[in-house]
């Protein structure tokens, strides 16, 4: 079956612009996670959803970052007024349920802010 | 969740066993040890996890010391495709939060 799908795979934008990154989880997976990864670093947790609700958003760096999952499947990570420091690979993962530590990751969306 | 310590890098000859160590001296009794790996330009991939017994699957074996303060991931016959960053993570098994906290990992170079 299909894995976690993320679009776009690459996004180049200018400082101050608004960006949306999309994640399609594995069908039937109730938990969805967003991470971001800077060059040479491990993935950094941002937010995770159980169903439609954000169960833990403690990793969002500031209020320019927001994520939604309105129907409990597809999720969108939204970044307002992008800054050069937002440049990173944004990874999405899903899992069958929130208690499991077996996450399935997509290949990421590479965001470059000029 | 407990912190882990891994060497930043290791080399392994192709065809030989790769033994990747991880220290987690502050691990709690209800915390599991998870291993993930990340091949260049891909998302992390789950490998294996365990609580206190040794575990084996088609990818690797996980050896956890009796005091659970350290573990070793073993790739029995490393190939070039096993070159990746390997992350050791400890996490409460039935945690209400599914999030994993990644460290810097070990970069394994198979030559």
Distance from CA of A21 to the nearest CA of B (A): 16
pLDDT-based confidence at B93, cuts 50/70/90?
low
- Give per-residue pLDDT as tens, A12-37: 999 999 999 999 999 999 999 999 99
Q: Taking the CA atoms of A80, A84, A89 and A95 in sequence, report the sign of the dihedral they define.
A: negative
Mean pLDDT of chain B: 92
Inter-chain Cβ pairs, chain A and chain B, closer than 8 A: 67
Percentage of chain B surpassing pLDDT 70?
A: 93
Backbone angles phi, psi at B27, to 5 degrees: -65, 140
pLDDT band at B94 (very low <50, low <70, confident <90, very high): low
Question: How far apart, in whole angstroms, are the C-alpha atoms of residue A57 and residue A71?
Answer: 18
A81-109 pLDDT, tens digit per residue, is 999 999 999 999 999 877 778 999 999 99
The shortest C-alpha distance from A28 to chain B (Å) reads: 16
Q: Give all strands (DSSP E) within A1-114, no chain letters.
A: 5-7, 10-13, 19-24, 31-37, 44-50, 53-56, 65-68, 75-79, 88-95, 104-105, 109-113
Residue from the list B41, B100, B103 with its beta carbon closest to the beta carbon of A103? B100
* pLDDT tens sequence across A57-84: 999 999 999 999 999 999 999 999 999 9
The overall average pLDDT reported for chain A is 95
Rg (CA), chain A: 13
Residues of chain A in Cβ contact (below 8 Å) with chain B: 4, 31, 33, 35, 41-45, 48, 50, 55-56, 59, 91, 93, 95, 97-108
How far is the C-alpha of A87 from the C-alpha of B66, rounded, in Å? 43
> How far, in Å, CA of A16 to CA of A18, rounded?
7
Q: Which chain A residues are Cβ-neighbours of B94 within 8 angstroms?
A: 99
B44-87, pLDDT tens digit by residue?
999 999 999 899 999 999 999 999 999 999 999 999 999 999 99
Cβ-contact A114, A84 below 8 angstroms: yes
Residue A98: the pLDDT is 73
User: Inter-chain contact A42–B102, Cβ cutoff 8 Å?
Assistant: yes
């Amino acid at each position: 079956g299909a894995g976690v799908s993320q679009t776009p795979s690459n996004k180049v934008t200018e400082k101050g612009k608004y960006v949306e990154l999309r994640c399609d989880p594995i069908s039937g997976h109730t938990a969805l996670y967003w991470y971001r990864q800077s060059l040479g670093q491990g993935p950094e947790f941002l937010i995770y959803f159980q169903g439609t609700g954000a169960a833990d958003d403690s990793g969002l760096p500031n209020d320019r970052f927001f994520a939604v999952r309105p129907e409990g499947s597809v999720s969108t990570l939204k970044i307002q007024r992008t800054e050069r420091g937002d440049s990173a690979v944004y990874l999405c993962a899903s899992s069958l349920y929130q208690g499991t530590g077996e996450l399935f990751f997509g290949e990421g969306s590479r965001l470059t802010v000029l | 969740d407990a912190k882990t310590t891994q060497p930043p890098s290791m080399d392994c000859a192709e065809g030989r066993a790769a033994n990747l160590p991880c220290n987690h001296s502050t691990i709690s009794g209800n915390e599991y040890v998870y291993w993930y790996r990340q091949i260049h330009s891909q998302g992390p991939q789950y490998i294996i996890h365990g609580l206190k017994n040794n575990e084996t699957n088609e990818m690797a074996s996980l050896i956890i010391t009796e005091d659970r303060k350290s573990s070793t991931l073993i790739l029995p016959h490393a190939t070039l495709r096993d070159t990746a960053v390997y992350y050791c993570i400890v996490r409460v098994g039935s945690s209400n939060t599914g999030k994993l906290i990644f460290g810097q990992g070990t970069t394994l170079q198979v030559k």
